[in-house]
Structure 1
Amino acid sequence: MTTPHTPESSERDIVLSAEKLQVGVVRVPRERVRISKRITTEVRTLEVPVRVEQLVVRHEPLDGSDATGASGEAPEELVLVLHEEVPEVSLRVRPTEQVRVRVRQVTGRQVVSDVLRHEEVDLTVDELPQESRTAQP
C-alpha cells in the first residue's frame, strides 16, 4: 500500500506478502476389511487293521471207536456265529485355535513439498530528460 506523495513527506511504504506452508493431518478412511471364517475340506485316507473270523473245518479219519451217531440218529446241528471287525468313522469338532484381531497404529514420516510465492521489491530508475529536471520548482 502506498501513501500519497505530499510535499511534507518524501517517504512511501509498500507491504510485501509471502506464503507460509502449513501442514496438518486429516484422518480419512483407507480401506474396509472383512474377516470371516470359511470351511475347507480335505480327504484323509487311513488304513485300519481289521479281523475277520473264518470257519476252519478239519477232517480227521475215524477209527471205529470214536464213531458217534452210528446208531442211526440224526446228527446234531452245530451253529456258529462268525464275526468281523468293520471300521467305524465318527467326526468330532473341537476348537483348535483362537485368532485375535486388533488394529494398531504405525507412525511414519511422509515428505510434503509445495511451491511458495513471496513478493520482492524491484526498483527501476528512469532517467528523466534534461528539460524536465530543471522545470521542477
Structure 2
Amino acid sequence: MTDVDATPYPEDRDPIDATSLAGRADRILDPGADDVAVTRSEERLVVRTDTVPVRRVRIRKVIVSEERTVTVTVRREELRVEEEPLDGTDVVDPGTVLPIGSGDAIELVLHEEQVEVVTRVVPVERVRVVTDVVTEQRSLTETVGHEEVDVVDEDLTDRH
C-alpha cells in the first residue's frame, strides 16, 4: 500500500514525476567499509487544489405587468322630486306668491365621485444573493512508481 500525502506541496518545489526516478538509486561507497548503502526512492502522490471559474451568473430585475381588478364604491347626487298630496286644509290662496314663477326654473348643480387610477412604485421585498462554499470528498486513483533494490551475488572465483 502506498501512502498518500494530502498536505499541499510547497510551491517552490516541483512534485516528483515518473521520469525523475530513472537512475536515482544513489550508491554510497566508502572504500574502507565492507558494506554498500543504496538510497531507494519512490513516488508519492501530492494533491493540491486550484480554484477555477466554472460559471457566470447575472442577476436582473424585470418588470412584469399583470391586470388587477379592484372594486371601488363611488357616490353621486341625484335629484329627487317629492310630491305631497294636498288635503283640503292646505289650500293655497290664488294671490300667494310662490318662489318659482310660471316658466321659471330652479338650477341645481349635482356632484358625483369619479375614480382616478394612479400607480405608485413601492418597495415590497429585499433580495440578497449569497455565495456558499460547499465541501465534498472526492476519491482519486493514480499509479505511483518506486525503486526496488536487487542484490546480485556473483561468484568471482575462477572455477577452472
TM-score of the superposed pair, with normalisation by structure 1: 0.63
- Please say if residues 52 and 84 of structure 1, whose CA atoms lie closer than 8 Å, have aligned partners that are also in contact: yes
> Over residues 90-131 of structure 1, what are the superposed CA-to-partner deviations in whole Å (9 max), with x where a residue is unaligned?
112122232233434334432222122234356899xxxxxx
Equivalent residues in 2 for 1:27-106 (5 A)?
A: 27-60=51-84, 64-65=91-92, 74-106=102-134
Using the alignment, how far apart are the partners of 2:149 and 2:76 within structure 1? 110
1:111 aligned partner: 139
Give the number of aligned pairs.
Answer: 124
**Unaligned ranges ≥5, structure 1:** 4-9, 126-132
Using the alignment, how far apart are the partners of 1:2 and 1:83 within structure 2? 112
Paired amino acid for 1:18: E
**Using CA pairs below 8 Å that are at least 6 residues apart, which structure has the higher relative contact order?**
1
Question: In 2 relative to 1, CA 2–111 (structure 1 residues): closer, same or farther, beyond 3 Å?
Answer: closer
CA RMSD, Structure 1 to Structure 2 (Å): 3.9
Higher strand content, 1 or 2: 2
Question: In 2 relative to 1, CA 51–2 (structure 1 residues): closer, same or farther, beyond 3 Å?
Answer: closer
User: Which structure is larger by alpha-carbon Rg, 1 or 2?
Assistant: 1
TM-score of the superposed pair, with normalisation by structure 2: 0.55
| Sequence identity (%) | 41
